[in-house]
Amino acid sequence: MEKQPVKGARLIFGYLGVFLIFEGIITISPLLMLLFYHQEWAAYPSFLIPGLIAVALGLALYFPLIHNRPRNRFRKREDALLLTLVWLTAVLFGAFPFYIGGFFGQAQMSFSEAFFESMSGYSATGFTVFPNEAFLDGPDVIQYCSHLYLFHRAVTHFFGGIGLVLVITSAISDRYNLQLYFAEGHNDRLLPNMRRSAKLTFLIYFAYIALGTFAFFLAGMDPFEGFCQATAAIATGGFSTRSTGFYWYASNYAAGLYTGFGVTPWCSPIAFEVIAMVLMFLGATNFILHTYLFRGKIKQFIKDCEFQSMAIFILLFAMLMMFSMTYLYTDESLNNMIGLDWATSFRYSIFTVISSISTTGFTNCANLMQLGEVAYFIMIILMILGAGVGSTGGAIKQYRVVILAKELYWWIRDALNPTRLIHPRPVYRLGQTREISKKELRDTNNYSFLYIVVLAAFALMMMMLPGIRVQEGLFTSASALSGTGLSIVNFFAYKAEFGYNYDLLLWITSLAMLLGRLEILPIGSALVKMATAPRDLLQKRANLEEAKS
């Protein structure tokens, strides 16, 4: 007897089982670091226990529900519901190592902090409440099993940046995952075949991380740190191995406290920053454009509207920020404006602007607040604009920004034109000039408006918490929704002063990070599907009873 195709809840949870197996393997993977840092073996239960639970749960769902059975395509909103479940379970199991670690004397974090850290990792944001003692510059590296936990953070960036669905798609037939692939935000395919396209995207992504790791090594960085920093940069994530990010290398090198890995003949923190900027820009660029670089099609790469848009924004806002910091930069007390020399202003501004527009969140200065009001107003603008479509970056995205800017120009042109002429509306993108359709204009306007509304809503929620002013609320919500991770809120200081409101701030920010990573609409579709599921079930039963009678 031929088996009936699987559909509905059975299909959703069957595929969730596949992802849970994969998520379990991700959670266990940091144990590979024990080959190099065997003295940190005490942390193995923190990764092994949740990893095995995820694998076992995945197998328990996959085999009874969809194994060796024909499968229907997802119905309306089912793909969005599965996508939301995949990401929430990934974040949940990614949080357990941080939470369980506290019971074994390692990374001691509350469940709210652990979930926040995991969400920040998988959403490629970079906000962190990781204990300062557990960073590689902390005093208790071995006690906190820092290498294992820092590698775990890098792994969440690795898979979260490229997309959980994309990695699975590269191994599973595209017949089942096309809807999920696009729902996760992969709007373009490098090749006509989706599975081959996913594999090529993954290979480009991995190749850049490998090259970045090697470049950091040549500049004098430890290979472990180089991998973590390169992964965070390409994933436009922002997790660093040092408590103060790239500022730590420069400040300690200047004080003679850091001399590099010791294998390469020289060490250059400035080279670290240059490498990071290149990687951040590459991570924020549409992966289809990377194929033009590899094939030597430099002209098509440079002519692309997204590349030109990002280049213009970087140059314009870096100049504005550099000029403002020459007289608005303050001392550590944030009360006295001392200004900066042109060279240091340029270094801080170009790094901060690229970090903001790429939605990475790396810093090379001691405190963002010291950069001045103009600087973090510029950062808010850039975090809202964001990176390229088809990249690892977030926010509104450059292609939508280009369409909005061109639409404004066309509106002014048509309003000033005395004759009723029909003008073309071309844009050069991905190697060809094409007309922007009315649907594309409408979708861009609607999504951009929705994004601003959601941004304002999260800013308002944060401002309702004590100690969060307008600038902190707007900056933090823009950073969370875009997946940037830059912060002018000191989470540890907020915890000490405002107690239980700290957990509430973490959960609000976590929700913003999830919405931003999945571009809002899939979450809304998933909520609608869950809300209407009981009604649909009752209707289905009524139809069956009517058919029997």
- Residue 72 is predicted with a pLDDT of 75
- Residue 236 is predicted with a pLDDT of 95
Is position 33 within any domain? yes
> When comparing pLDDT for 401 and 176, which is higher?
401
Is position 51 within any domain? yes
Is position 162 within any domain? yes
- Residue 174 is predicted with a pLDDT of 43
Confidence tier at 163 by pLDDT (50, 70, 90): confident
Give the number of other Cβ atoms within 10 Å of residue 338's Cβ. 11
| Contact between 13 and 65 (Cβ < 8 Å) | yes
Per-residue DSSP letter, 337: B
**Cα–Cα nearest to 276, from 248, 304, 313:** 248
| Contact between 505 and 467 (Cβ < 8 Å) | no
Alpha helices in 66-139 (DSSP H): 78-101, 111-122
- Residue 526 is predicted with a pLDDT of 75
- Residue 71 is predicted with a pLDDT of 75
- Residue 295 is predicted with a pLDDT of 86
- Residue 384 is predicted with a pLDDT of 96
The whole domain housing 66 covers: 1-186
Tokens of 487: 């912060």
Residue with tokens 């999920």: 180
Is position 43 within any domain? yes
H or E stretch including 400?
A: helix 398-416
| Contact between 386 and 398 (Cβ < 8 Å) | yes
The pLDDT of 467-472, averaged and rounded, is 93
Please count the residues of the chain. Answer: 549
H or E stretch including 432?
A: strand 432-435
**Cα–Cα nearest to 480, from 517, 526, 520, 447:** 517
The whole-chain average pLDDT of the chain stands at 88
**CB within 8 A of 315, min separation 6: which ones?**
none
Q: Which of 163-172, 219-228, 301-310, 363-372 has the lowest mean pLDDT?
A: 163-172
| Contact between 354 and 314 (Cβ < 8 Å) | yes
- Residue 73 is predicted with a pLDDT of 76
Is position 175 within any domain? yes
| Contact between 290 and 204 (Cβ < 8 Å) | yes
Taking 60 as the threshold, does the pLDDT of residue 54 lie above it? yes
d(CA 537, CA 429): 45
- Residue 188 is predicted with a pLDDT of 60
What is the phi/psi pair of residue 427, to 5°? -150, 140
Is position 263 within any domain? no
Taking 80 as the threshold, does the pLDDT of residue 1 lie above it? no
Crossing angle between the packed helical segments 8-28 and 78-101, to the nearest 10 degrees:
30
The pLDDT of 33-45, averaged and rounded, is 93
- Give how many domains the chain has, as a whole number: 1
Is position 45 within any domain? yes
> When comparing pLDDT for 139 and 371, which is higher?
371
| Contact between 127 and 112 (Cβ < 8 Å) | no
Confidence tier at 189 by pLDDT (50, 70, 90): low
- Residue 191 is predicted with a pLDDT of 57
- Residue 143 is predicted with a pLDDT of 85
Dump pLDDT digits (tens) for 426-445.
888 888 888 888 888 998 99
Per-residue DSSP letter, 123: T
Tokens of 522: 């899939």
| Contact between 253 and 273 (Cβ < 8 Å) | no
Query: How many degrees, rounded to 5, is the angle at CA 340 between CA 335 and CA 343?
Result: 160
**CB within 8 A of 19, min separation 6: which ones?**
58, 86, 89, 90, 164, 168
Give the number of other Cβ atoms within 10 Å of residue 75's Cβ. 14
d(CA 380, CA 484): 10
| Contact between 95 and 129 (Cβ < 8 Å) | no
| Contact between 262 and 144 (Cβ < 8 Å) | no
Percent of the chain exceeding pLDDT 70 equals: 90
d(CA 96, CA 99): 5
| Contact between 374 and 328 (Cβ < 8 Å) | yes
d(CA 23, CA 93): 7
Percent of the chain exceeding pLDDT 90 equals: 61
d(CA 329, CA 106): 38
The pLDDT of 15-19, averaged and rounded, is 90
Taking 70 as the threshold, does the pLDDT of residue 268 lie above it? yes
Q: What is the radius of gyration, based on Cα positions, of the chain?
A: 24
Q: Which of 65-69, 178-182, 466-470, 527-531 has the lowest mean pLDDT?
A: 178-182
Is position 42 within any domain? yes
Region for residue 334 given its phi and psi (left: phi exceeds 0; alpha: psi -120 to 50; beta: otherwise): left
